Structure 1
Amino acid sequence: MQHPDHPLTEAKRYGYVEDGGVWLRPVLGQPARRIGSVKGTDDDALRYFAQRYTAFQAKIDELLDRLQTADNQGSYLMKLLHLQEQTKQHDGLGDYQALYDRLHAAEEQLNGSVARNREKNLVTKRSLIAQAEALRDTVDWVAASETVKELRQAWLKTGPVDKQLTEELENRFHTEIQGFFDRRKAFQLDRKALTRRTVERYRELVWEAEKLKNSEQFEATSRQLKQLQTAWRDVNGNLPKKQAAELWTKFRAANNHFFERLKKHIESQRPAEAAASTGVPSTPEQSLVRKRELARRAEGLLGLPPAQGVTQAKALQAEWKQSGAVRGPESDQLWQRFMLACDKVFEMSALDYYLRKRQGEGGEPLGPAERAQASVVALRKFIESDRQELATLRDNLGKLPNSAANDQHRQLLQGKIRTFERKVQTKTELIALFQQAAGA
């Protein structure tokens, strides 16, 4: 059973009254010291200083309770050390040794926890530095910028490490981050300069095309404009869509204007049309001249942009049908030349669509060498598919019974086989062109 005046009893265990003063007995390696004066009775003075001790003890209890549930326990270390010092100086009567021991035990536990956390923080910060270093050679600036943002946030959220390592780690991390921003800025400046040069080059080509669009020197100008079209493709600039569309519209308009004039000029020179206007049928010799011209024009379409080339190839095919009948070996050779040239235009259009779809929206444009290599890979893939289809058609033709009832089906299969043979030949020749361009 607790003593009816327990505070006074405890006070007398740890202190006493002498010469009108209240004294604390020796504790924590310190001699007895006077902590106050007697005002009233001796017992009242002893109770007063016992209550001061109790209030101080409650303050320590509250701190230790908060420490147990704190997320950032390291922030309590200085408070613990401060209270330990206060146990040696506090003016009260009680078991200061017990209070000190409790605070010291909490300090040791906290130091162990802080040390473990700092080891974990050290591992985390070294990992963040390694991730920052891995961005040194990146060119994917959008994704890398997001990564840098995440790394900086993670760095700020990571707690401290040993003070001897803090400055070194901070310098390494911030050096890598600043290096990334410096490289990105340099890239952006280079890109702006490249864009400026690209725009200037496109404007120069537009100006040259517009200068030639009304030329009467049709043959020489046709070659010059085709060279300009090749130069336009070689620029391979990556401009904003609106600006690129405006420049391309002007360039294409100048080319279309000239080639429409060229078309009318050629039509005016055709003997067959002259004969048709007088009601006189064209001779085989005149038809042969027309077919030679159509084959030559078809072979020149490969230098045009894919969409323009397809449009003109279809127009030439319509003209071929009106060019008149011709017999003999040269007629067959011209037909093969003409169809192969048109097929190349259509295959180039399909290839261009495939590469743009594979690249996707917002992708970095391929350089001439990279585009040539990608085209070769794609064409080989297409050839493999064509050969599989060709093998199936030949197998079906071989299994078809030899009867009159199957003649129409046989002719259909034979036509498809010739078409796929021509497809394989067309793609093979295009591969050779791309390999030659890459080698150059």
Structure 2
Amino acid sequence: EERKARERENEEIKTALCERIEALDFSKPSTYQEWDAMTKTILEAQEEWKKAGFAPRKTNTALFNRFRALCDDFFGRKSEFFKKTKNEFAENLAKKTSLCEKAEALAESTDWKKTTDAIVELQKEWKTIGPVARKHSDAIWRRFIKACDTFFDRKKKVNGDTRRAEQANLATKREIISRLNVIASDENTTPREQAIAEVQQLRKQWQETGHVPFKEKDKLQDAYREVVGTLFDKLDIKENRARMADFQAGIEASAGDSGKLSRERERLVRACEQRRQELKTYENNMGFFNSKSKNGDSIVREMERKMQHLKEEIAQISEKIKIIDSNI
């Protein structure tokens, strides 16, 4: 009777263990930590099972098979998860290694805009890739970030150098405008020929001076054009007229060579047509820009300057063609 009583007690213990395991959701764990926590619960139940004695013969085998099937199911699922996760980790490692190689290939690039966009895309792609095995995680991340930092540190240094150079150019061009304003002032008593020579030298220096900060470009260019225009009027500098006179003298000297004049005329006709096409393109494109925005206004003004320059060139070329026609 005592043995039977112990067996019934053991039957209740083993039944409770089976029910405890059956209450667990084996499909729920999705991380190593969750699987480890559930594994601990299963192992504790197995230890309790071992401590419990036999249940009645008619139920003992059934209980054992029930408990064993539950444990086998759990460990089978765990093994499958770990196998699948291991494969995913390997795939993720391969993808991240590929991104590292791409970033390393770009690290020394000097195409700053294009490469910046490319590396930003690599960084976005990195975020979409899942984790890798912990033993590789830190190393692969350090490799990737090192390549990215190498490029951006170089870009930062170059941009710093560029900004310093632009500031130096800005100071130079402001000084040129200041000196031109002095020549243009009513108080200036410099002889005309000397003033013209100084103006030409300052204009040459302006052309040779590099870029200035973009936000200063238009304002500086407007100030320069204004003072140069004032000086051209004041000093009666007729560059185009002088160049046209030189051209006419050259054509008159070649008046006896009709072949040479015809070839020059054909060249000028092609050049004139090319500029007319460029002018037409600018006129068509003007409608695509919004001059109300800061950038749009800057683009429109730049296009207007180019259009005016093209019109002047077309007029000059047309005048040259007329000069040739009068000498053929």
Q: TM-score range by the shorter chain?
A: 0.5 to 0.7
The CA distance in 2 between the partners of 1:205 and 1:330, in whole Å, is 35
1:225 to 193, 199, 207: 199
Residue type at the aligned position of 1:244: K
Q: Is the 8 A contact 2:99 2:126 kept in 1?
A: yes
Equivalent residue for 1:303? none
1:123 to 84, 87, 94: 94
Residue type at the aligned position of 1:161: V
C-alpha displacement of 1:148 = 3.4
User: What percentage of residue pairs aligned between the two structures are identical?
Assistant: 16
C-alpha displacement of 1:106 = 1.9
The CA distance in 2 between the partners of 1:204 and 1:190, in whole Å, is 21
C-alpha displacement of 1:350 = 4.9
Equivalent residue for 2:208? 234
Equivalent residue for 1:249? 222
Secondary structure at 2:211 match in 1: coil
TM-score w.r.t. length of structure 1: 0.48
TM-score w.r.t. length of structure 2: 0.62
Q: Is the 8 A contact 2:17 2:45 kept in 1?
A: no
C-alpha displacement of 1:197 = 0.8
The CA distance in 1 between the partners of 2:179 and 2:157, in whole Å, is 33
Equivalent residue for 2:39? 81
Q: Is the 8 A contact 1:215 1:221 kept in 2?
A: no
- Return 5+ residue gaps in structure 1 as ranges: 1-15, 23-41, 267-292, 301-316, 321-328, 363-415, 423-440
Q: Does 1:58 align with 2:46?
A: no
Equivalent residue for 1:260? 233
C-alpha displacement of 1:259 = 1.4
Q: Is the 8 A contact 1:210 1:254 kept in 2?
A: yes
Residue type at the aligned position of 1:56: R
Q: Which moved more, 1:251-260 or 1:82-91?
A: 82-91
Residue type at the aligned position of 2:36: M
The CA distance in 1 between the partners of 2:252 and 2:123, in whole Å, is 71
The CA distance in 2 between the partners of 1:17 and 1:142, in whole Å, is 87
Q: Does 1:188 align with 2:159?
A: yes
Residue type at the aligned position of 1:296: A
Equivalent residue for 1:271? none
| Equivalent residues in 2 for 1:84-99, closer than 5 Å | 84-90=42-48, 94-95=63-64, 96-99=67-70
Equivalent residue for 2:78? 107
Q: Which structure's relative contact order is higher, taking Cα pairs within 8 Å and 6+ residues apart?
A: 2
C-alpha change, 1:74 and 1:127, in structure 2 (3 Å) is farther
Equivalent residue for 2:252? 332
The CA distance in 2 between the partners of 1:18 and 1:142, in whole Å, is 85
- Return 5+ residue gaps in structure 2 as ranges: 56-62, 256-260, 283-288, 290-294, 296-317
C-alpha displacement of 1:229 = 1.6
Q: Is the 8 A contact 1:74 1:114 kept in 2?
A: no
C-alpha displacement of 1:245 = 2.1
Secondary structure at 2:153 match in 1: helix
| Equivalent residues in 2 for 1:365-380, closer than 5 Å | none
Q: Is the 8 A contact 1:148 1:177 kept in 2?
A: yes
Give the greater-gyration-radius structure (CA): 1
C-alpha displacement of 1:116 = 1.2
C-alpha displacement of 1:87 = 3.7
Residue type at the aligned position of 1:237: H
| Equivalent residues in 2 for 1:142-157, closer than 5 Å | 142-157=113-128
Q: Is the 8 A contact 1:132 1:173 kept in 2?
A: yes
C-alpha change, 1:420 and 1:149, in structure 2 (3 Å) is farther
C-alpha change, 1:126 and 1:333, in structure 2 (3 Å) is same
2:142 to 137, 160, 171: 171
| Equivalent residues in 2 for 1:411-430, closer than 5 Å | 419=321
C-alpha displacement of 1:51 = 4.3
The CA distance in 2 between the partners of 1:116 and 1:238, in whole Å, is 55
